[in-house]
Chain A
Amino acid sequence: MKNEMFQAMEIVAPRILEEAAFLFSEPLDESAIPSEAWHPVGVELRWNGPSTGVMRLWADPALLAVIAANMLGIDEDDPVSQAKGADALKESLNMIVGNCLTEAWGPGPVFLLDVPRRIEESFASADHDEGLWLSTEGKSVFLWCGA
């Protein structure tokens, strides 16, 4: 699915993670891609408009508290960071999708975004060849976009 949204994800996702959570990302080396035994936390966001689609974001559980801590300006060992990790991941996806849609479609079209939600679907069920792998502060992140 090397379409406009995929290209937008490649540009936008690392930028959002850096600007929103001060986390630096780079493409994950193929040899470092986790096996199907990897157990990340997943969130998804659907949208409607000139195109309908869904984006899913899976992240290493160890990264969640770091994202929350950096967004909130507190220590990652703070219980608040631990508690807000999933919410911070959902908001990261919200920002990635909103900015990807503008990157892919320009500033004209209006898209209606759902509220991001946690997904229980196994990461193993995703098509790993059709997404974007990132290494974010040394932790694996996988983004997938589909109809």
Chain B
Amino acid sequence: MGYTVLVVDDSETIRGALVKAFKMAKLPMEEVVQAGDGREALDVLKGKWVDMVLTDINMPNMGGVELLAAMKADPGLKDIPVAVVSTEGSQTRMTSLKEAGIAGYLRKPCRPEEIRDLLHSVLGEWS
């Protein structure tokens, strides 16, 4: 048993690096589901329950901001916490993302312990 997390990033390398970081942080992962953009993520969420979504912002087809908006507009998805993992460092952007309902924000490159702290703060420590 453990966390089930959906990782959304158009880079397979970044998705793989996040999976590596989960292992390095010794997080109890039930499953890491992956999607290459917001549209794929919404397709995954139609048939899969997850504890949390970690998403990039800039992606082709549907970015992280649009994914967040779509999830917040869907009664079945609006309560799933969404955290952003992005290269962007604008405080203005971060404020607007918080107002839009993100549960957390990490800046790339991020360390395993930062990812662990984010999951603990959003989901609580697994016991």
CA distance A109 to B109 in the complex (A): 20
In chain B, positions 1-54 with a C-beta closer than 8 Å to chain A are 10-14, 16-17, 20, 23-24
Residues 84-138 of A at the B interface (beta carbon under 8 Å): 84, 87-88, 90-91, 94-95, 97-99, 101-102, 107-115
Contact between chains at B87 and A115 (CB < 8 Å): no
Chain B positions 75-118 with a Cβ under 8 Å from a chain A Cβ: 86-93, 107-109, 111
Given A68-B13, A107-B91, A107-B92, 18 more A-B residue pairs with CB atoms under 8 Å apart are A16-B109, A20-B109, A71-B13, A72-B13, A72-B16, A73-B17, A73-B24, A84-B12, A87-B11, A94-B58, A95-B87, A98-B87, A98-B108, A107-B89, A109-B92, A110-B90, A110-B92, A115-B59
Q: List 16 A-B contacts (CB under 8 A).
A: A16-B109, A19-B109, A71-B14, A73-B17, A73-B20, A84-B16, A91-B13, A91-B108, A94-B87, A107-B90, A107-B92, A108-B91, A109-B92, A110-B93, A113-B87, A115-B59
Distance A115 CA – B13 CA, assembled complex (angstroms): 14
Closest chain B CB from A66 CB (angstroms): 13
Assess whether B89 is in contact with A71, with CB atoms less than 8 Å apart: no
10 closest A-B pairs by beta carbon, nearest first, are A98-B87, A102-B89, A20-B109, A73-B20, A107-B91, A72-B16, A88-B13, A19-B109, A71-B17, A87-B13
Separation of A87 and B91 alpha carbons in the complex (Å): 28
Contacts of A101 in B (CB 8 A): 89
The listed residue (A71, A73, A84, A99) touching B87 by CB distance below 8 A is A99
Which of A90, A98, A99, A112 lies at the interface centre, i.e. has the most chain B CB atoms within 10 A of its CB?
A98
Q: How large is the interface on A (under 10, 10 to 19, 20 to 34, 35 or more residues)?
A: 20 to 34
Assess whether B108 is in contact with A20, with CB atoms less than 8 Å apart: yes
Alpha-carbon distance A7/B36, docked complex (angstroms) = 33
CB-CB under 8 A from A84, the residues of chain B are 12-13, 16
Q: How far is the CA of A84 from the CA of B16 in the complex (A)?
A: 10
A136 to chain B, nearest CB (A): 15
Whole-angstrom distance between the Cβ of A87 and the nearest chain B Cβ: 5
A98 to B85, CA, bound (A): 12
